[in-house]
Amino acid sequence: MSLSETLKFPNGIEVNQPTGLFINNEFVPSKEGAKFDVFNPSTGKKLLEVYEAREADIDAAVDAAEAAFHGVWSKFSAGERGACLLKLADLMEKNLMELASIETANNGKAIALAKGDVAMSIQTLRYYAGWSDKIHGKVIETDNNATFNYTRQEPIGVCGQIIPWNFPLLMWAWKIAPAICTGNTVVLKTAENTPLSAYYACTLIAEAGFPAGVINVVTGYGKTAGAAIASHMRIHKVAFTGSTLVGRAIMKAAAASNLKKVTLELGGKSPNIIFDDADIDKAVEWVNFGIFFNGGEVCCAGSRVYVQEGIYDKVVEAFKKRAIMNKVGDPFDENTFQGAQVSKQQFERIMGYVEAGKKAGATVEVGGNRVGTEGWFVEPTIFSNVSEDMQIVREEIFGPVCTIAKFKDVDDVVAKANNTSYGLAAGVHTSNLKTALEVAHRIRAGSLWVNQYNALNHALPFGGYNESGIGRELGKEALRNYTQIKTVSVNLQ
């Protein structure tokens, strides 16, 4: 029974890729032995087969995580937990090209971006390693001083984590780092189409010093393996990143099972706003990066561009020129900016939205077509002449497609920006500090970027208002997701 395969990439990197489920620090076949295919979206060809986790495999992973939580992991000091995360970060740094190449082959993203993802994953591990021995409760004095009261920030237990395919390794790091530094153990399910980078990172876990059972990683379908995590009676917290539709299902499953704590990071339809007084060249650069970074497969993508009337025509022209300069194609080419979309299914979903936009009467300023005939590449696409009620303005496309529209003044653009069920992020470009801060404070979204976009950092909380989610990841905020407060009150009388 083979549990790994050799993969060779066009840049000369060769890896021994695990294909089993990672439970108890070992790669194992699934109990029922079922497997499914994993593809390279830039060629459309199969890379290899991996084992498919089902309910019994989730149970096995929970058994491992539960035993570790109550046993060996509970004996690790906070500093020792941090040391494991630091060692893992160092090992990942040594394997940066392997991890980035796997990511590019499996997700389709440009290698330059994949290297950035690995670097950010490493930073996230180091950041939370630093938090591990700085988590503590408070002494709370009540008025009669007859009691001594304090709080403890305790870990929750076995945490279930379900991640998507757009940043496979980075989402793995965002999820495991805060859970592990706070003393929990995890059962993480990768997206079924992009399991490879997380599995490769798991080859480093034992060497980093993590005892068996602390970090368990499986792949499988959402309706089976994902649902088993969301409804598991011995998982006490679930963290999810993905579609709003599935986020709702996870909350329902949590409610119907053991009321496990839920955090959700869902989609968005984020506005990116340019005022008359902005530096146009810089603003266009950020708007281009805002939507076309990672092929638009970004939850906080700036997919609705709003431009103040006085500079609208000028910005449309400059943005078109800029968009066609993005190098789209072979993701293993170091100069490529936009690689392939993740799958045939996602490609078809994006092209469906492009058709819907055309049918609704919007104008394609640039793009709108597939690139090449092999793999799933889409031209950077800009729609103008859009109205607020069009599907392409309302729904998350999750591809390199944006709309551009005019606005009059602050009130007008704030109303348009907030005219969405989402609220993940927004950008505002202006040279006037007062305008920037007024707009930043009036938009109902979790991250507001002024004169920049997609400015994520491991130290800054990230998450959504409204239907973009519940809770915050990154920064000190994320520690709350993985701890619960115990109050101890001692009678001194």
Q: Which residues bind ligand NAI (CB under 6 A)?
A: 162-164, 166, 189, 191-192, 221-223, 226-227, 230, 241-243, 246, 249-250, 265-267, 299, 349, 396, 398
Give me the amino acid identity at 148: F
Token readout for 232 is 């598991």
> Any idea which residue has 């020792």 for tokens?
80
Q: Which of 52, 98, 103, 265 is catalytic?
A: 265
Q: Cα dist. 296→14, 78, 239, 251 in Å?
A: 29, 39, 23, 27
SS3 15: strand
Q: How far apart are CA 490 and CA 493, in angstroms?
A: 9
Min dist CB 396 to ligand NAI, Å, is: 4
The minimum distance between CB 148 and ligand NAI, in angstroms, equals: 44
Active site residue 265: yes
Compare residues 112 and 251 and give the one whose CB is closer to ligand NAI: 251
Quickly count: other Cβ atoms within 10 Å of residue 356's Cβ: 15
Q: Which residue has the tokens 């087969």?
A: 49
- Strands 469-470 and 261-265, by their bridges, are antiparallel
In the complex, minimum distance from the CB of residue 239 to ligand NAI, in angstroms, rounded to a whole number: 11
Task: Please state the closest distance from residue 471 (CB atom) to ligand NAI, in A.
Answer: 13
What are phi and psi for residue 117, nearest 5 degrees? -65, -45
Amino acid identity, residue 152? R
Of 218 and 284, CB closest to ligand NAI: 218
d(Cα 238, Cα 145) in Å, to the nearest integer? 39
Residue with Cβ nearer ligand NAI (166 or 430): 166
d(CA 197, CA 104): 9
Q: Cβ 120 to ligand NAI, closest distance in Å?
A: 15
Tokens for 93?
């740094």
Residue 155 or 220: which CB sits closer to ligand NAI? 220
User: Of 265 and 379, which CB lies nearer to ligand NAI in the complex structure?
Assistant: 265
The residue with its CB nearest to ligand NAI is 222
Integer-rounded Cα Rg, in Å, for the chain is: 23
| Closer to ligand NAI by Cβ: residue 227 or 439 | 227
Q: What DSSP assignment string belongs to 446-486?
A: SEEEES-SS---TTS-B--SGGGEES-BSTTHHHHHTEEEE
Q: Which residues are catalytic?
A: 265
